[in-house]
Amino acid sequence: MFDLIKKDILVTIKSDRQLLFRYILTLLICYTFFNPIAYFAINVFMSYVILINTFAYDYEDNAYKFIMSMPINKDNLVYSKYILSIALIFTTTIINNIIFEILSIKIHRGAVLNDVLVSLILYLLIVSVVLPIHFKFKDKKVKFIFGFIALVFILFQVGAFLMSVVDHTLNNYTSSINLYSISFGAIVIFILSMFLSLQIIKCDKGGKNMNKFAKVSAYTIIVILFFIGVNKHIFNERISVEDYKKIDDINTDISVDRYEETDNGVLIKMKIKNNSGYTYRLENASITFFSCKRSDDNKIIDSREAFKLNILPIKFGEENDITWTGIEPKKEGYIEFLYPKGIKINDKFFDLDSTSLKYNGTFSKDLPIGDGAYTTITWEEKEILIKDLGEKIIERLRGE
């Protein structure tokens, strides 16, 4: 079994001596320009390609026919492919994490534990579908079509589901559906797939050895769980992207800077402080006012959106254009709202406690390939109650 794994590794290296270089180059390009998917898709895709190529190499030099004709247990061929698949995803994940950590100093964020779990789940599911197909069918086109469909569907559809699970568990820590439980489910499916492949290969030289299957399965589960445990220990508190933001202080603060009386009303100037090491680019900001009905004892019984104040337009290319040039790391930028003259907020008809300021933007890193070129690191969306910005702004809205 291990001789077959050694054979696959040596043949892969000899057939593609620039494999590691091409993998790192692909990883760097995707990390720089297609960052959100680089953390969980590139190592899955490359591990899949390397694994499937071992079948191609076997068929090219007739090694597969030679192995199948030898008086050995055919289950070793199945075990070798499954064990090799695990070794590949472990190796590419380690390479990813090291490169991401090095580059996080200059470009994007580093990896987090959820990146490892998502890529592991996706890969186990893809391999669980694809390997039985390769053992079952002889036709290359059939194997390619089914394999490609499985790869695309699982990578994008299941990947989207896993992202929704990540978002859900951020707000629901007691949920039984999380990446840990799904990881264990993927491991079980992987083991069942290995059993199916053994059935397909029909080991007539020595028969199916259930004791051996049980041992290989047990070791496989232990190794994968150990890999998850080691990564959990390494990443420590860096489980999700939100944890990374907290540790690296990727956020903004907003406060009222000053008020100016104009012919058209009160100009409210607000200051946004960029606490991160990246450039912050504002996308939108608005203040939402809510009308309400009150009971006889002055309690709010109905509250709904009444109107919005949007930020005053910023001329493109101006020095303070925080929507394009952005706010540099650890610096400040300004936005303005015009509160129209003549409007006074009456507490009887308006719910000032619910009046809120919403703004959203992206943290990005400039790229050294030309003026204005940058890549997005992550995004931020905030909603702040106006009353939390100080009593002064409430007084202004009331017209006091």
When computed from its CA atoms, the radius of gyration of the chain, rounded to whole angstroms, is 29
Q: Region 216-221: what's the mean pLDDT? A: 94
Quickly state the pLDDT bin for 371 (edges 50, 70, 90): low
Residue-level pLDDT at 313: 80
pLDDT at residue 152 tops 80: yes
What is the model's pLDDT at position 62?
Answer: 57
Read off the pLDDT of each residue in 301-321 and give the average, rounded to a whole number: 76
Residue 204 pLDDT: 41
pLDDT digits (tens, 9 = 90+) for 232-267: 998 887 887 777 666 667 889 999 998 888 888 888
What pLDDT is recorded for position 252? Answer: 93
In this predicted model, what pLDDT tens digit does every residue of 180-195 receive, in sequence order?
999 999 999 999 999 9
Query: Residue 293 corresponds to which amino acid?
Result: K
For residue 397, what are the contacts with CB-CB under 8 A and spacing of at least 6? 339, 345, 352, 355, 386
Q: What is the DSSP string of 215-262?
A: HHHHHHHHHHHHHHHHHHHHHTT--SHHHHHHHHT--EEEEEEEEEEE
Whether pLDDT at 83 is above 90 = yes
Least trusted range by pLDDT, from 281-285, 303-307, 315-319, 376-380: 315-319
Give the per-residue pLDDT at 274.
Answer: 93
Query: Strands across the sheet with 300-310, in order?
Result: 300-310, 279-294, 356-366, 374-385
> Which of the given ranges, 24-33, 120-129, 206-215, 244-253, has the highest pLDDT on average?
120-129
Q: Is the pLDDT of residue 95 over 80?
A: yes
- Using the predicted structure, report yes or no on whether residue 110 has a pLDDT greater than 90: no
User: Of 391, 387, 313, 378, nearest to 104 (Cα)?
Assistant: 378
C-alpha to C-alpha distance for 352 and 107, rounded to whole angstroms: 42
Return the beta strands (E) in the chain as ranges: 252-262, 265-274, 279-294, 300-310, 332-340, 356-366, 374-385
Q: Per mean pLDDT, which range of 34-38, 336-340, 390-394 is the poorest?
A: 34-38
Mean pLDDT of 288-293: 87
Position 191 scores a pLDDT of: 95
Distance CA 208, CA 239 (A): 41
What pLDDT is stored for residue 207 in this prediction? 47
pLDDT at 318: 58
Q: In a 3-state reduction of DSSP, which class is residue 336?
A: strand
Give the separation between CA 11 and CA 134, rounded to whole angstroms: 19
Q: Tokens for 344, please give them.
A: 């006074």
When pLDDT is averaged across residues 79-99 and rounded to a whole number, the result is 91
Q: Is the pLDDT of residue 141 over 50?
A: yes
Whether the pLDDT of residue 122 is over 90: the answer is yes
| Greatest mean pLDDT among 48-57, 303-312, 353-362 | 353-362
Give the per-residue pLDDT at 203: 53
Strand 265-274 vs strand 279-294: parallel, antiparallel, or unpaired?
Answer: unpaired
Is it the case that residue 268 has pLDDT exceeding 60?
A: yes
Residue 131 has pLDDT above 80, yes or no: yes
The closest of 147, 152, 149, 148 to 130, measured between CA atoms, is 147
**Cβ neighbourhood burial of 39 (10 Å; 0-12, 13-18, 19+):** buried
pLDDT category at 359 given cuts 50, 70, 90 is very high
Interatomic CA distance for residues 86 and 94, integer angstroms: 12
pLDDT > 70: percent of the chain: 83
Distance CA 383, CA 400 (A): 25
With cut-offs at 50, 70 and 90, classify the pLDDT of residue 206.
very low
Q: What is the mean pLDDT of residues 217-245?
A: 87
DSSP category for residue 350: B
Average pLDDT, the chain: 81
Taking the C-alpha atoms of residue 146 and residue 280, their distance in angstroms, rounded to an integer, is: 43
Domain boundaries, the chain: 2-246, 250-398
Of 32-46, 164-178, 184-198, 320-334, the one with minimum mean pLDDT is 164-178
